[in-house]
Structure 1
Amino acid sequence: MEPTSTTSRRFELLCIMMLTFGQLCIMTGYDSQSFILESVIHSIHEREPARISQYAGYYGQAVCYLAYVTTCLFSPSFLYATSAKTTLLISSICFTSFPIGFLFTNSYYYYFSSVLNGIGFALYYTGNGGYITSHSTRRTIESNVSLSWSFGCCCMIVGSIIMAIITSVTQDQIPQILLENGTQLVDNLHHERRFGDSEIYLLFSVFAAISSLAIFTFMLMPSKDVPNCIESSEKRVSFSEGMKLMADTLKSSKMFTLAPTFVLTGIYTSFWVSVFPTTLTFNMHNSSLIYLTAIYGFGVGVGETIMGIIISTLSKRIKDFGLKPTMLIGCILTTAFCVFALLSTPFDATYTPSHQLPLLFQPTRTTVFLIAIIAGMSDCCLCSVRSVICALAMPKRRAQAFSVSKIYQSLGTCVIFFFSPTLNIYHYALGIPVLCIIACIFFFREARRTQTMERKITQELEDEAEKRRIAKELEAMRQSI
């Protein structure tokens, strides 16, 4: 018995929401810890310099994205060899390994788990793309992508609440550093926001526990495809054939055209996920505002969710809203975020504790929350258009297109993290808007080609259907004679 469209849509939404919940679990830990990673590492280094490098927060993320780039080269072939569900399950195990390391912090496990995290990242997004396309139709792909992304990004809201609760519990245990004369710094205006051992232990224990929930979610997730899905999971290609498809996709002119968009997403991600929240703790004038990072994470989650709902709603009413209109909105919001970051951040707070004054105003709880909303909305736009264009531009190599997009994205992120200890706020605030303009020009060109290709395919399908209808009528007439 064929399922009705209503039943099929319900099953489709069940699959997408389970995927979304799994994303929420693994990203609650990852995104939240990214906000504070460099600050946490810096605090550990100040107490025990021999234990870990002061810039390991940035370098560890660079290693993570380097592993990400490498894994993206073969993750589509791994998807073909296994399944989207298996790929997601393995990725969740890799994600869970990272926060566990902060229960016994040392450099060796830290960088090893960073590599695992990068591998998990690549496998997750490949599995995510494969699962969404096998559980979405052409009519629902834009809606499902934006819903999955926006509600998955509620992880930032969950993470910010966790950080606020744990900070409130441990705020009396403010770590101090002895001066050369043996006295302690107690004036908040003389040092940056610091993280104590108990606060670090509690934070990363909770993040590890939540990440482990994704393992069970992906184990229980349905694997059956929906009717008329974009790409069936039953399709199987050998590992070597998958690698050949990957090589062809890497050389594709479409991917070269879209490269600025993917690189923009990567560079911007490194800025709003790690660099800017680090400035909030490295700004010595903010040391008494111990909840700023939690407020920032909450605002980003709110922004992601709001924009995801907007894109999902308008995509149902406006054809191709998930392409050029969303890209334009995303670039405008990205530029706005960079401007506000420039005006509210000491120029050197991106890489060292700073007592300098910002250009225009000091961050407050309200301004940080509003800036964070802009960050979340802009990121949702950029990530949505990336997912949609990859699903539509190369219909025969979607998994490879997703992976190539992540290669370019993670290369941009990796380079920025390696150079982060030398970049000030002006480099980010001026460079990213310029890249937005370049990305928009090339994205609009490829989106136009994709729309033309879709119209041609649609017309061919309609012509074929019309031929079949005429043939049936002629056959009926012959039988009646």
Structure 2
Amino acid sequence: MLGFGQLAMMVGYDSESFILESVIHSIHEREPETISPYAGYYGQAVIFAAYTIASFLAPSILNVTTAKTMLIMSAVSKLLFSAFTGISILAVVTFFMIPSKDVENCIESSEKRGTFVEALMGILISALSKRIKGFGLKPTMTIGAISVLVYCGLVHVSTPFEAPLRPTSEEPLLIYHSYPLIFVIAFAAGVSDCCINGVRAVICALVLPERRVQSYSVARMYHAGACTVCFFFSPVTPLYVYTIGLSVLSVIATIVFYRVADSTKSMERKLTQISMEKKKIAEMQVC
């Protein structure tokens, strides 16, 4: 239910983003003095700037409310755009139907102690995690990084260098765009987004179990802040800066993630050993 609700909410958000950019470009083509051709990018930058601030404030709000309430509030906001009212209502209804009671090993407990992945890929990760120990960490991160390399590579060889900056008749590096290619790129981008967001939530919960909401929000804050910078500089940033930059960053992130995951396993082994020693000591005292 969480995955479907997130899917419904993100479909509305992504659709709004693409339509916003297209409409602004269309208006600028008809009446150049009316609006800047880059206003869509600036609008996205402002949205992500607000997202950065919201990520910073989210843990404090969660201390006085519940994760379910936050999900409902976030879905009530796709309602600001009347074209996506139906999908937003579907997301709100789905979030309302999520059970409020705690389950074993739940990420966010309803009990407050004071001073939050999408559809097809989420199902795959969930199924494999039950069969392969630790699949939600290194294997999922690897799938996400490979997906980033795939879609960045396809965009790199199929899009002219100056395409993000201005209309151009320049030839692509290797292949031309087509509907099948666009669907492949979109699918790879969705898989990478799902995997990387998923492992980020998992590693935050493992490394800082008592502050998992705060650590995840800080990670999202850096993410949104970087998106804000990218959108503000998009009018002067060539395509290859994105495709090569994202690929390099994904490889670096995977290497760092592996090290953190290894240290987490080491920490778990130490805690398990300490727990077993305490248990033995307690048994000896009883004897």
In structure 2, how many angstroms separate the alpha carbons of the residues matched to 1:51 and 1:93?
A: 31
Pick aligned residue for 1:309 from 112, 117, 123: 123
In structure 2, how many angstroms separate the alpha carbons of the residues matched to 1:234 and 1:307?
A: 30
Correspondences of 1:193-232 after superposition (within 5 Å): 205=83, 207-232=84-109
- How high is the TM-score relative to the length of structure 1? 0.55
Is the counterpart of residue 87 in structure 1 residue 70 in structure 2? yes
Correspondences of 1:196-345 after superposition (within 5 Å): 205=83, 207-237=84-114, 241=115, 305-345=119-159
Pick aligned residue for 2:209 from 388, 395, 419: 395
Pick aligned residue for 2:39 from 39, 56, 60: 56
Cα distance, 1:461–1:231 mapped onto 2, change above 3 Å = farther
**What is the root-mean-square deviation of aligned Cα atoms in Å?**
2.4
| 2:20 match | 37
Is the counterpart of residue 76 in structure 1 residue 26 in structure 2? no
Cα distance, 1:346–1:413 mapped onto 2, change above 3 Å = same
Is the counterpart of residue 23 in structure 1 residue 2 in structure 2? no
Q: Structure 2, unaligned stretches of length 5 or more?
A: none
Pick aligned residue for 2:230 from 416, 439, 445: 416
- Aligned-partner SS, 1:363: coil
Whether the aligned pair in 2 keeps the contact of 1:26 and 1:212 (CA below 8 Å) is no
- Aligned-partner SS, 2:210: coil
Task: Summarize deviations over 1:51-96 as a string: whole Å, max 9, x none.
Answer: 5432121111110111111122221011101222222222222232
Task: Summarize deviations over 1:235-288 as a string: whole Å, max 9, x none.
Answer: 231xxx3xxxxxxxxxxxxxxxxxxxxxxxxxxxxxxxxxxxxxxxxxxxxxxx
In structure 2, how many angstroms separate the alpha carbons of the residues matched to 1:34 and 1:465?
A: 56
In structure 2, how many angstroms separate the alpha carbons of the residues matched to 1:68 and 1:406?
A: 9
By how many angstroms is 1:469 displaced? 5.8
Whether the aligned pair in 2 keeps the contact of 1:28 and 1:211 (CA below 8 Å) is no
- Aligned-partner SS, 2:63: helix
In structure 2, how many angstroms separate the alpha carbons of the residues matched to 1:71 and 1:49?
A: 34
The one-letter code of the counterpart of 1:385 is V
In structure 2, how many angstroms separate the alpha carbons of the residues matched to 1:47 and 1:22?
A: 38
In structure 2, how many angstroms separate the alpha carbons of the residues matched to 1:408 and 1:24?
A: 23
Is the counterpart of residue 347 in structure 1 residue 161 in structure 2? yes
Bigger Cα displacement from structure 2, 396-405 vs 54-63: 54-63
By how many angstroms is 1:430 displaced? 1.6
Cα distance, 1:325–1:48 mapped onto 2, change above 3 Å = same
- Aligned-partner SS, 1:396: helix
In structure 2, how many angstroms separate the alpha carbons of the residues matched to 1:435 and 1:317?
A: 30
The one-letter code of the counterpart of 2:145 is C
Cα distance, 1:208–1:229 mapped onto 2, change above 3 Å = closer
In structure 2, how many angstroms separate the alpha carbons of the residues matched to 1:438 and 1:56?
A: 32
In structure 2, how many angstroms separate the alpha carbons of the residues matched to 1:59 and 1:94?
A: 20
Decide which structure has the larger Cα Rg and report it: 1
Q: Structure 1, unaligned stretches of length 5 or more?
A: 1-16, 101-204, 242-300, 475-481
In structure 2, how many angstroms separate the alpha carbons of the residues matched to 1:307 and 1:227?
A: 23
